[in-house]
Amino acid sequence: MTYKAPVKDMLFNIQHLAQIDQIARMPGFEDAGLETAQAVLEEAAKFNEGVLDPLNSEGDKNPSSFKDGVVTTTAGFKDAFRQFAEGGWQGLQHPAQYGGQGLPKTIGAACIEMVNSANMSFALCPLLSDGAIEALLTAGSDELKATYLDRLVSGEWTGTMNLTEPQAGSDLAMVRSRAEPQPDGSYKVFGTKIFITYGEHDMADNIVHLVLARVVGAPEGVKGISLFVVPKFMVNTDGSLGVRNDVHCVSIEHKMGIKASPTAVLQYGDHGGAVGYIVGQENRGLEYMFIMMNAARYAVGMQGIAIAERAYQKAAQFAKDRVQSRPVDGSISASAPIIHHPDVKRMLMTMRAYTEACRAMASVAAAAYDAAHHHPDADVRKQNASFYEYMVPLVKGYSTEMSLEVTSLGVQVHGGMGFIEETGAAQYYRDAKILTIYEGTTAIQANDLVGRKTARDGGQTPKAIAAKIEETEADLVKNGSADAVAVARRLKAARLAFVDVVNFVAGNTKASPNVVFAGSVPYLMLAGNLMAGWQLARSLLVAQDELARGNDVPFMAAKIITARFYADHLLSKAPGVRDSIVEGFESVTAMALESF
pLDDT digits (tens, 9 = 90+) for 6-59: 999 999 999 999 999 999 999 999 999 999 999 999 999 999 999 999 999 999
> What is the tens place of the pLDDT at every residue in 496-546?
999 999 999 999 999 999 999 999 999 999 999 999 999 999 999 999 999
DSSP 165: B
Segment holding 207, helix H or strand E: strand 206-215
Using DSSP, state whether 218 is helix, strand or coil.
coil
CA–CA separation, 33 and 15 (whole Å): 9
Which helix (H) or strand (E) element contains residue 569? helix 553-569
DSSP collapsed to 3 states, 111-141 = HHHHHHHHCHHHHHHHHHHHHHHHHHHHHCC
Mean pLDDT, residues 58-64 = 98
Q: Is the pLDDT of residue 196 over 80?
A: yes
* CA distance linking residue 281 with residue 288, whole number of Å: 10
pLDDT at 531: 98
**Looking at the predicted structure, is the pLDDT value of residue 71 above 80?**
yes
The Cβ of residue 496 has, within 10 Å, a number of other Cβ atoms equal to: 15
Q: What is the pLDDT of residue 171?
A: 85
The answer, yes or no, to whether residue 170 has pLDDT greater than 90, is no
Give the pLDDT score at 383: 97
**Buried residues in 253-290 as b, exposed as e (16+ CB within 10 A):** eebebbbbbbbbbbbbbeeebbbbbbbbebbbbbebbe
CA distance 393 to 446: 7
Mean residue pLDDT of the chain comes to: 97
> For residue 577, what are the β-bridge partners?
none
| pTM over 0.85, yes/no | yes
- Name the nearest CA neighbour of 504 among 467, 450, 466: 450
Single-letter code of the amino acid located at 129: S
The CB density around residue 433, as the number of other CB atoms within 10 Å, is 17
pLDDT (0 to 100) of residue 482: 98
Give me the pLDDT at residue 195, please: 97
Task: State the Cα–Cα distance between residues 478 and 488, nearest whole angstrom.
Answer: 10
* Domains of the chain by start residue, with CATH: 7-64+72-151 (1.10.540.10), 156-283 (2.40.110.20), 289-587 (1.20.140.10)
* DSSP of 67-105: ETTEEEPPTTHHHHHHHHHHTT-TTTTS-GGGT-----H
For the segment 130-145, the average pLDDT, to the nearest whole number, is 96
Task: Kindly indicate the confidence band of residue 456, based on its pLDDT and cuts at 50, 70 and 90.
Answer: very high
Amino acid at site 517: F
* Residues 493/501, Cβ–Cβ less than 8 Å: no
Active site residue 439: yes
Cα separation, 40 vs 6, whole angstroms: 13
> CB count, 10 Å around CB of 171?
11
pLDDT tens figures, 400-455: 999 999 999 999 999 999 999 999 999 999 999 999 999 999 999 999 999 999 99
CA distance 110 to 248: 35
> Cα(461)–Cα(167) distance, rounded to whole angstroms?
36
pLDDT band at residue 289 using 50, 70 and 90 as cut-offs: confident
| CB-based contacts of 306, cutoff 8 Å, min separation 6 | 112, 113, 114, 115, 116, 117, 120, 123
Catalytic position from the list 439, 470, 583, 594: 439
Query: If residue 551 lies in a helix (H) or strand (E), which one and from where to where?
Result: none
| 194-223: average pLDDT | 96
| Residue 149 to residue 95: CA distance in whole angstroms | 10
Residue 1 has pLDDT above 90, yes or no: no
Angle 425-433/285-321 helices, nearest 10 degrees?
160
How confident is the model over 218-259, as pLDDT tens digits? 999 999 999 999 999 999 999 999 999 999 999 999 999 999
What pLDDT is stored for residue 254 in this prediction?
97
